[in-house]
Amino acid sequence: MPEVREALARLDVVEPTLCAFHEVFRSPDLDVDPSLPFAGMPIAVKRGERRSHREALVAKGCIPIGLTTTPDGSTPWQTWGRNSRGVTRNPWNLDRTPGGSSAGSAVAVASGVVPLATGVDGAGSIRVPAAWCGVYGLKTTSSERAAVGVFVRDPSLLMTYLDLDEVSSPTAVWSADLGFADVDDEQAGIAWRAAAPLSPRPVDLGLPDPADDWYAHRCGPSPVLDELFQTADLLLTPTTPGPPHGHDGPGSRINTALTWTFNLSGHPAISIPAGFDAEGLPVGLQAVARHGREVDLVAAARLIAKPPRLGPT
């Protein structure tokens, strides 16, 4: 499979610097039915994720080439990964974190090793690294706090991943802070401008800060969100309140401030590349949809999509 050989060759170029893989499969199983929708597509798999998710992608013809890095428990934060060679680095700036906990998966896609990588989103663990690495990161609908999903550079891959054939034209509303978060003006401005193709209507949203519910493990319906989704298909926000931090940690900032509400409520969500800040670091636009309406997230991603760019590393 030429795609697999190319992926492994690209991995050899960038991996010594980026440290995105925990384990590499040098002799993957190449016996794939060519009629499958993802036949021969090399993918990266988040270390420790659900086996059923990986198996579902293999059943579509994907070929895993390795397990990606996650946090190793040596710090109190979950916004970066590590392997035996060092910390996982953001391909746009090696001194910054790629986000986490699906750190290596985001980097594997952003650096051009694979077109798709798996992740698990526990509090923004797909969407935050997707935003900071400049790729698409989808969290699916879930009745639990953690939801499976994927990273891609090409949003059209999401249609096949989700087995979608429907095309939608979603309506959207916008909130820069969900009513409680402290968001940098630059992050909000870049995300707002990227959302223009959806013509979002600003709303005065009054969601409560989810921190207390998160630490008390309280999940379930949100009356505010239930009411909002009676009037619009999508809620748009910046994905993160600020840019990626350094490898010394996030300080007091809660980088999941805009994402973890939707882990508690179970709504599907996606981070869409929105542009770059004054330091040349990627910024993400988050879209949140009704339960089971991932099709509206894909529609938003494809409408906003810009030509993919690889991290300069």
Residue in 46, 139, 142, 265 annotated catalytic: 46
φ, ψ dihedrals at 106, nearest 5°? -60, -45
Which residue has 């698409």 as its token pair? 136
Catalytic residue among 102, 105, 111, 125: 125
- Sequence-ordered list of residues with C-beta below 8 angstroms from that of 52, at least 6 positions apart, any chain: none
User: Quick check: is 101 catalytic?
Assistant: yes
Active site includes 46? yes
DSSP assignment of 95-126 equals TB---SSSHHHHHHHHTTS-SEEEEEESSSTT
Residues 263 and 129 sit within 8 Å (Cβ to Cβ): no
The span from the CA of 251 to the CA of 255, in Å, is 10
For the chain, give the number of residues.
313
Q: How far is CA 104 from CA 44, 59, 68, in A?
A: 9, 23, 5
195, containing H or E segment: none
Residue 111 annotated in active site: no
Of the residues 101, 105, 111, 271, only one is catalytic, namely: 101
Say whether the peptide bond before residue 271 is cis (omega within 30 degrees of 0): no
Q: Provide the Cα torsion 86, 87, 90, 96; round to 10°.
A: -120
Looking at the annotation, which residues are catalytic?
46, 101, 125
